[in-house]
Amino acid sequence: MAFLGTYNYWIFITLMMIGLYIVIVRGNLVKKIIGLNIFQSSVFLFFISVGKVSDGTAPIILHDGGEAIYSNPLPHVLILTAIVVAVSTSALALALIVRIHESYGTLQEELIHEAERAP
């Protein structure tokens, strides 16, 4: 049952592999970016999982001053930053894709390489 207890990490690894696979295998530049996004999102899930404390609650001081177990809020904050970074990366990549489409007329990697080899 140890396997099920860490199921979120298994999801992280599966998503990560799917994302990387798309980045490597797909020839369409937009699909590559989607793969990259899946890959990055998987890492976000990993960070969030790390911050979870069993039976922990949101890290807000209780009204009655009682004791409570808190989840670690830091990974969430880090991931907010990382999400911003990922969004900027996607935006920049899509802008590049628009320019590439303008000058090559295609988004297929092989066709772009062919066009580059041609004098």
Partner 1 sequence: MISAQLPALQVILPMFAAPIAILLRRGKLAWMLALVVTWIAFAISLVLLFQVLDDGPIQYFFGGWAPPWGIEYRIDALNAFVLVIIGAIGAAVLLFAGPSVEKEIREGHQHLFYALVMLLLAGLFGIAITGDAFNVFVFLEIASLASYALIAMGKDRRALTAAFQYLILGTVGATFFLIGVGLLYAMTGTLNMADMAERIHEIHDSRAVLTAFAFLTVGIALKAAVFPMHYWLPGAYAYAPSVVSALLAGTATKVAVYLLLRFIMIFGADFAYVALPLGATLAVLAAIGILVASSSAILQNDAKRLLAFSSVAHLGYIVLGVGLGNDAGVTGGILHMFNHALAKGAVFLAMGAVMLQIGATHINKLKGLGAVMPWTMAGFTVAGLSLIGVPLTAGFVSKWYIVTAAIDRGWWPLAVVMVVSSILAVFYIWRIIDAVYFSPPGANTENVKEAPVIMLAPLWALAGASVYFGIDSSFPASVAGKAAAIVLAQMP
Per CB under 8 A, which region of 54-62, 63-71, 97-105 contacts partner 1? 97-105
The type of residue at 4 is L
Chain centre distance of CA 32: 13
Residue 29 forms beta bridges with which residues?
none
Report the 10 Å Cβ neighbour count for 14. 11
At 57, is the secondary structure helix, strand, or coil?
strand
Is the Cβ of residue 62 or residue 96 nearer to partner 1 in the bound state? 96
Q: Contact at 8 Å (CB) between 13 and 29? A: no
Distance, in Å, from the CA atom of 74 to the CA atom of 92, rounded to the nearest integer, reads 28
How far is the C-alpha of 56 from the C-alpha of 61, rounded, in Å?
13
Annotate each residue in 10-49 with x if it binds partner 1 (CB under 8 A) or - if it does not, as one string: ----------x--x-----x--x---x--xx--x--xx--
Using CB under 8 A as the binding rule, whether residue 70 contacts partner 1 is answered as no
CB of 61 to partner 1, least distance (A): 17
Q: Does 88 bind partner 1 (CB under 8 A)?
A: yes
Contact residues for partner 1 (CB under 8 A)?
20, 23, 29, 32, 36, 39-40, 43, 46-47, 50, 74-75, 78, 81-82, 85, 88-89, 92-93, 96-97, 99-100, 103-104, 112, 116
